[in-house]
Structure 1
């Protein structure tokens, strides 16, 4: 199994997870044409995708889903709440999922799990190819016991490191937005995500990717330092999904 990012941040999110000939797109917060260009950068065409999975209805995650799915006749998987709140064209094939029940897309077994975020029925996902597990966590305001249990057995992780608490407090956002971002239904801080990593540890981890970094309230240096310290690894080992450049393929392989 391998994975890559089209881009990650408040201006658009999207990741690709692949096993064999199965490729799924996780979120698409970019216009369809831009998403296609970013997929090509990874050596893929949108027509090769087996499906699009959606985490929640916020525009930086769902903005390009309907157009891309309609253009390439792709099935879209999302919770009922996301379906109700999201804007999908009538002829898009929407498959409603239970946020607690696994399902399969060709060679991938996919385990959704609910997260605390200010959306209708948000979920994140763990991907399993029969041997390796990749866990993705973003757009959550706090770490729950269920989140820990879902991510602990993963061989690869992509985890939100949205903001540095001090930078958020001193930053340009109005107080209402600062309260939202830092709240229980907002986004994970460097400190929160580092605490999760310290609990999980390095026993299984092959790759760690930091995602959804705020351009106003965080820096790659601060996020990478927090993650590396939590896992007691070199900072160079920690990867970051960039807003504009995304992240090239990372491979998970049995040891």
Structure 2
């Protein structure tokens, strides 16, 4: 299984997972043109994508999905019933081809040839947010951003993965002293907001094992965080906790408009 985080941040989110039989997008929060450009930088054409898994309805995760579904009839799109209902009722991403809509609910696992996908509920101010663990040929990558906290149930689901994409959204002091309104700050800090560096680091310390080799630090706020603070906090939390930190473990920063290398997990 190969992975590239194509884009991560408030301006749009999408990632690529490649198995021997499938090429999958995790979220579709960018325009079709931008998605095509980023995919091209890692050697994949948009016409090769056959599945998209959607985490929730916010536009930075779902805004490009309608265009992709209408333009590429081979794409099967997956989300839970609450997310589909919201998107269809609001016409937020345009008319969707019904035969390309597929449902995967929180707690369900589905197998597609050499790929197994497990969905799990998260806590965010969207219709019905959920994220996924992708497994292929014995390797697992867990995606988790846009959640206000990480429950024990979520930790049990994502534990002992080979790779993680984890939200490191904000540094609490930068957020409190920053330019956002108090109402927006309160929303980010709430249980349906986003993960701080400390929260993300603690969650990772609880779930990684010595099989974990790649951690993608994702969805960093441009106003309320820095790459240095996110990375420093992650290492500190992992070092101080009971995590089995292998010397080969890599912390990889993600960017809002530049893909990470297509990496074997």
Normalised to the residue count of structure 1, the TM-score between the two structures is 0.94
Alpha-carbon shift at residue 106 of structure 1 (Å): 3.4
Do 1:39 and 1:46's aligned partners in 2 also have CA atoms closer than 8 Å?
yes
Structure 2 CA distance, aligned partners of 1:208 and 1:65? 26
Matches within 5 A, 1:37-52: 37-52=37-52
Structure 2 CA distance, aligned partners of 1:174 and 1:215? 15
2:216 matches 1:209: yes
Equivalence for 1:34: 34
Alpha-carbon shift at residue 206 of structure 1 (Å): 1.1
Equivalence for 2:81: 80
Do 2:50 and 2:76's aligned partners in 1 also have CA atoms closer than 8 Å?
yes
CA RMSD of aligned residues (A): 1.6
Do 1:52 and 1:69's aligned partners in 2 also have CA atoms closer than 8 Å?
no
Do 1:50 and 1:105's aligned partners in 2 also have CA atoms closer than 8 Å?
no
Which segment is superposed worse, 86-95 or 51-60? Answer: 86-95
Equivalence for 1:177: 184
Equivalence for 1:91: 97
Equivalence for 1:120: 127
Between the two proteins, the alignment pairs up a number of residues equal to: 252
Alpha-carbon shift at residue 28 of structure 1 (Å): 1.0
Normalised to the residue count of structure 2, the TM-score between the two structures is 0.91
Secondary structure at 1:248's aligned position in 2?
Answer: coil
Equivalence for 2:173: 166
Secondary structure at 1:247's aligned position in 2?
Answer: coil
Structure 2 CA distance, aligned partners of 1:237 and 1:98? 32
Equivalence for 2:160: 153
Alpha-carbon shift at residue 199 of structure 1 (Å): 1.6
Structure 1 CA distance, aligned partners of 2:195 and 2:181? 18
Equivalence for 2:242: none
Structure 1 CA distance, aligned partners of 2:112 and 2:21? 11
Equivalence for 2:253: 240
Unaligned runs of 5+ in 2: 240-244
Alpha-carbon shift at residue 104 of structure 1 (Å): 2.4
Alpha-carbon displacement from aligned partner over 1:107-150 (angstroms, at most 9, x marks no partner):
21000100011111110000111311111101000010111101
Structure 2 CA distance, aligned partners of 1:21 and 1:97? 20
Alpha-carbon shift at residue 198 of structure 1 (Å): 1.6
2:17 matches 1:17: yes
Structure 2 CA distance, aligned partners of 1:237 and 1:50? 29
